[in-house]
Each structure stands twice: as C-alpha cells, then as structure tokens.
Amino acid sequence: MSKVLYEKDIQKEVLQAKKVAVVGYGSQGHAHALNLRESGYDVVVGLRPGKSQQKAEADGFQVLPVADAVKQADVVMVLLPDEHQTAVYEESIKPNLDAGNAIAFAHGFNVHFSQIVPPSDVDVFLVAPKGPGHLVRRTYEDGGGVPSLYGVYQDVTGDAKELALAYAQGIGSARAGVLETSFQEETETDLFGEQAVLCGGLTSLVKAGFETLTNAGYQPEVAYFECLHEMKLIVDLMYEGGLENVRYSISDTAQWGDFVSGPRVVNDETKERMKEILAEVQSGEFAKGWILENQANRPQYNAINAKESKHQIEQVGKELRELMPFVKQPLQKDEKNEQKDVKAHVTN
C-alpha cells in the first residue's frame, strides 16, 4: 500500500522561513491562501484588478499584481484556471522567478502537457487537493482537511519534497493524508476521474435517470428527489464508510437491486468508453482539444453550458431547493469569476 503522510511526518520549518505567493483567488486560491495564513505561513496574493482582488483584500491579504507578488515570494503557487496559466506564466511569472525559488501547481496539466516549461534553476512541485476548493476551505475551518497528492517535477535545492509536504500541511491536507504522485499520474487520473466518474459520469447518470422517469410520465419533482437530491445522502454514506456502509444502511430490496441492476447500467460497454476516455487523456488528445476550444473562445463550451442550464432538472431543482432552506444555495453568478459563468460550486 502507498505511504500516506500525516502532520507528524512533516517538517513545517522549511516553509515557515519563506514567503508564498498564491496567484489566483478563486475556488482553490482563496482556500489555499486562507488556510496557509491560518496555519502560520506568510502569504501574499497575486492578482489582476477585479472581483477576486477585492475579495482577497477584504479578507485582509496584501494583494499585488502577479509580477510583483512573484518578485516578493520564494514559493509561487499557480492557482489560475488551467487555460490561462500559460499566458500569465510567460508574461508575469517566469521573468520574475529567481534561481532557487519554487513554482507550484494544484494540477499538473500545463507542465505535463508542456504548455509551461519551468526554468531549470527552480524547484517545481504540485500539491493537488482531491476535492473542490470551497471544501478545502470549509473542511479546514471545521478542523479537518481534504487529502492531497504531492509530486516533485524538479528539485534543484534538495528541499522540493519537504516544501511540497509543508505546503500540503499548510492547507490542511496532512490532517486527512498526503500521498506521493508524479505530474503524469496526477494529471491523467484527475482528468479521467472528473470526466468519467466524478463530474461527467455522475451528471450524465443523474440526467439519464431523471429523463427515464419523466419520459415515462412520472412527476419531475419525484424524479428530482429520486435521482439527484438523494444522491448526496447515498454519497455521504459512501464517503463515511465505503460501498459497504451504503449497503448496510439501504434496504435489502435496494441492495438486491444494486447487485442485479447496477452492472446492467454501468457494464462492459461503459468500461470500454472509459478506456477510450483514458486513452484520449493519456495521448494528449483531450488536452489539445481543450486548448483549441479556448483559443477559439469556447464555442462548444458556451453552447453546451447554455443548453444544460435550461434542462428541466435545473428548473425543478431550483423550485424545490427554495423550500429546503437547510440546503446551501450555490454561488451567484457575480460572486464567481465570469469566465466560468453560473457554476453551482459549493458555498464557502
């Protein structure tokens, strides 16, 4: 089994002596900056003028243009959207890195797919939380942490691994567990996981179930509760105790249905599609498509996003959630950076 590291395994001193520039203050950026500061580390935030800048200032950070934040820092964590990192790196980060600095990422995409080629005289590492940024923050505030992977791409100082581990400790991940990886493994597994299972797989499964019930004439409200709302309750059981815990809590009737019907939905053909998706991630085909989509100003992304937001499940869900005040409301459009449009991130 892989070695999982915790607080007791980590030397914090290596990062305590340094200044960290967190570049970006979105989902991951705000969580890293706030958690690191509360863990006792020295943080400056690098941003362009705008909403994030105002938010970071309101949270009490010194906020500087990216180039100036990089000049001041020993460790630069790049928490910009993947598709904007290369341009900001070339213009504002690379020219201001000093020999012996460290540059870090929360996802290996740009380094692994050679969109960013760091200079040979800096440390390069990643600390990739295995969870959304708003939960990296909320879990830390609750006294817990989101597990992270760490990986070293380049170690010129001899300290890159210890720096990565101290950084992971700073954002709270060592409370939950920190595991070693490579940029390749983190990039490929993260892209596969979000496409096939956590995001693409899950949303497609929920919509397919909802559409099957409503097309058969059942009430949309019943279909929403059955296929979307209850998903969280089942996933909570899975998070707490694995598949076994789900099966312990559900009825025997549900468990029998799980055994005999689940594999008919997610079957060998589904696994073949998963293998195709993994192959496209590994070959760089997915990355190339995403880079080109951005260069063309996202025609497909925007069209699909607009269509998805009009799906009946979203309309029904909005009405039902208004009657459930204990269900947290998603962020409003103007609270998020505008490139992402309305994305129902978990509230912080």
Ligand X SMILES: CC[C@](O)(C(C)=O)C(=O)O
Question: Binding site, residues?
Answer: 25-28, 48, 52, 133, 190, 194, 226, 230, 251
Rounded CA-CA distance 77/46 in Å is 10
Residue 47 interacting entry, from ligand X, ligand NDP, Mg ion, none, C-beta within 5 to 8 Å by type: ligand NDP
For residue 336, give the nearest of 49, 50, 34 by alpha carbon. 50
| Minimal distance, residue 148 CB to ligand NDP, in Å | 9
Q: Position 119: which residue type?
A: P
Residue 199 interacting entry, from Mg ion, ligand X, ligand NDP, none, C-beta within 5 to 8 Å by type: ligand X
- Output the six-digit token pair for 331: 């962020």
Residue 50 interacting entry, from Mg ion, ligand NDP, ligand X, none, C-beta within 5 to 8 Å by type: ligand NDP
Does position 124 interact with ligand NDP (CB under 6 A)? The reply is: no
Specify whether 112 is catalytic: no
Does position 186 interact with ligand X (CB under 6 A)? The reply is: no
Does position 274 interact with ligand X (CB under 6 A)? The reply is: no
CB 10 within 8 A of CB 174: yes
- Would you list which residues are annotated within the binding site for NADP(+)? 25-28, 48, 52, 133
Minimum CB distance to ligand X smaller for 81 or for 119:
81
Measured N-to-C along each axis, helices 51-58 and 27-38 cross at an angle, to the nearest 10 degrees, of 20
Residue 28 interacting entry, from ligand X, ligand NDP, Mg ion, none, C-beta within 5 to 8 Å by type: ligand NDP
Minimum CB distance to ligand X smaller for 65 or for 132:
132
Does position 132 interact with ligand NDP (CB under 6 A)? The reply is: yes
Measured N-to-C along each axis, helices 268-283 and 183-192 cross at an angle, to the nearest 10 degrees, of 140
Looking only at residues 187 through 216 of this chain, which bind ligand X when binding is defined by CB under 6 A? 190, 194, 198-199
| Minimal distance, residue 140 CB to ligand NDP, in Å | 14
| Minimal distance, residue 237 CB to ligand X, in Å | 20
Does position 101 interact with ligand NDP (CB under 6 A)? The reply is: no
Q: Torsion over CA of 320, 321, 327 and 329, rounded to 10 degrees?
A: 170
DSSP secondary structure letters along 89-122: IIIIIGGGPPTT-EEEESS-HHHHTTS----TTS
Helices (H), the chain: 13-16, 27-38, 51-58, 66-72, 82-88, 109-112, 133-141, 160-170, 183-192, 200-215, 220-224, 230-249, 252-265, 268-283, 285-295, 299-309, 312-322
The SS3 call for residue 295 is helix
Which candidate in 30, 32, 84, 107 is catalytic?
A: 107
Backbone angles phi, psi at 193, to 5 degrees: -60, -45
Minimum CB distance to ligand X smaller for 131 or for 170:
131
* Contact residues: Mg ion, CB under 5 A: 190, 194
- Would you list which residues are annotated within the binding site for Mg(2+)? 190, 194, 226, 230
Looking only at residues 19 through 58 of this chain, which bind ligand NDP when binding is defined by CB under 6 A? 24-29, 47-48, 50-52
Backbone angles phi, psi at 52, to 5 degrees: -65, -40
Phi-psi region of 81 (alpha: psi -120 to 50; beta: other; left: phi over 0): beta
Which residues are near ligand X by CB under 6 A? 131-132, 190, 194, 198-199
Active site residues: 107
